Amino acid sequence: MATKPYFSKVLVANRGEIAIRIFRTCHEVGIGTVAVYSEADRTAPHVTTAHHAYPIGQAPARESYLVTERIIEAAQKSGADAVHPGYGFLAENADFAQAVQDAGLVWIGPPPDSMRLLGDKTAARKVAVAHDVPIIPGTGQPVRTLKEAVGAGEEIGYPILLKAAAGGGGKGMRVVENPQELESSLKMARSEAVSAFSDESVYIEKYLAHPRHVEFQVMADSHGTCVWLGERECSVQRRHQKIIEETPSPALTPDMRGEMSEAAVRLTLASGYQGAGTVEFLLEGDRFFFLEVNARLQVEHTVTEMVTGRDLVLDQLSIAAGQPLEYGHEDVQPRGSAIEARIYAEDPDNNFFPSPGYINHLDAPSGPGIRHDCGVAVGSEVTLHYDPLIAKLVAWSPDRTGAISRIRRALEEYQITGVTTIVPFLREVMAHEAFQSGDYDTHIVSRIMEEKESQVTQHAFIAAVATTLFHAQKSDGFATGQANGSSRQGPASRWVLEGRELRGWQK
């Protein structure tokens, strides 16, 4: 841990658990902290955690957390000398990063030029190709017309994936199974891309049927050093967004890990990147393909911290202050296994739709190897204005089996009421044989949901049969004991129920 502060005061242009996470590191090294808040967050925990707090607008993010001028004004009023973006909101917005620097403040993140380069997925693919990093077959640039898209689909081969060039998080993404679906899917992908990123550009990739999502954490300073800090398996997703992450990935061999980490470092250095970043890959079998770079700290950075013992926020502060990294590849020795479960206020039985409301009870688990990064407290309101992530539960153990057992125990102890959360579903995933074996891919959530629906259907059918037979016992058409005590087989040996034949049923 550093013994002197790199800055006198840091403003965090974010909210919730990530703002609190950054404040904690700043406080440990003697750096003053500044929170910003919307009207909806006036009493939020991140506001009371910081040394200073400034209002920046109304509840909608477009009127507060996405307004560059108000955030910079708050930084200047507070006397902050640096801005940390957290993740989400403006974290990967190169124009915001440039505005922070133009205002005479230090940007705790990658250079704006690197963000622009890597934020454009087609440009990032070109960098990957130029530096021998495998990419998924696809178009080298956005498709401009339907005719171009049709030609690309024929050349690549269906199914294909339409992807917004300017962003991520599953927005502006559509799987197209055949040419007949292409026109409507292209329109929808472009519409989503405009809404999410103000850019309708869409490019095409080959759709991988059973991929795993594996990302590599990198840290690069301004002196030409780039270090990777292990990988994270992020294949447990709904709507292309992660809900469980673990490190190390159970899918990688030592050779694969070495090859992928070298590719991640090559790409990072080639783009002039600085700070914390994540190079993401899709893995199918023993082949890997570059997916994208997340030019920021990731939600799941916690598992990397648990196995490496590094404070990634502290490294960000050091790099932003112009300091060289004090460690190299040989100094990073990941130990044990860590798993993160994201606690979302969502209803899994309603297609993971957000569940707004007030937290009226919260009792988080603790114990050896448990970490709980939380952005709410009793009385906090979960609104539809922001992402419904309310906390992250992390477990560490010397091995993967122990980490699974530990986080399952912690999830059983987790108590939160007032909003519906995905905690029960997380327990189901952790108990599922595919997750426990480590043999799963990005479709694991949809498969579990399908299994649940199938079980519900089966149970309903069995209940219907039982009810019908129960009532049939009382009817004249069913074989019953006669007055003299004798019994016989009646017409119940063959039943027809709702179009299904139930043969051989015997009393």
Active site residues: 296
Instruction: With beta carbons less than 8 A apart as the criterion, state whether 108 and 26 touch.
Output: no
**Cα distances (Å, whole numbers) of residue 401 to 183, 245, 338, 340:** 47, 15, 10, 14
Q: What are 318's two structure tokens? A: 């050091």
- How does DSSP classify residue 325? P
Nearest to 416 by CA among 445, 387, 384, 393: 393
Rg (CA), the chain: 27
Q: What are 405's two structure tokens? A: 């057992």
| Amino acid in the structure at residue 48 | T
Distance CA 182, CA 180 (A): 6
Distance CA 411, CA 403 (A): 12
Backbone angles phi, psi at 494, to 5 degrees: -140, 120
Helix (H) or strand (E) holding 70: helix 68-78
Instruction: With beta carbons less than 8 A apart as the criterion, state whether 345 and 419 touch.
Output: yes
Instruction: With beta carbons less than 8 A apart as the criterion, state whether 305 and 312 touch.
Output: yes
**Cα distances (Å, whole numbers) of residue 343 to 164, 205, 308:** 27, 31, 23
Q: What is the DSSP string of 120-184?
A: SHHHHHHHHHHTT--B-SB-SS---SHHHHHHHHHHH-SSEEEEETT--TTTT-EEE-SGGGHHH
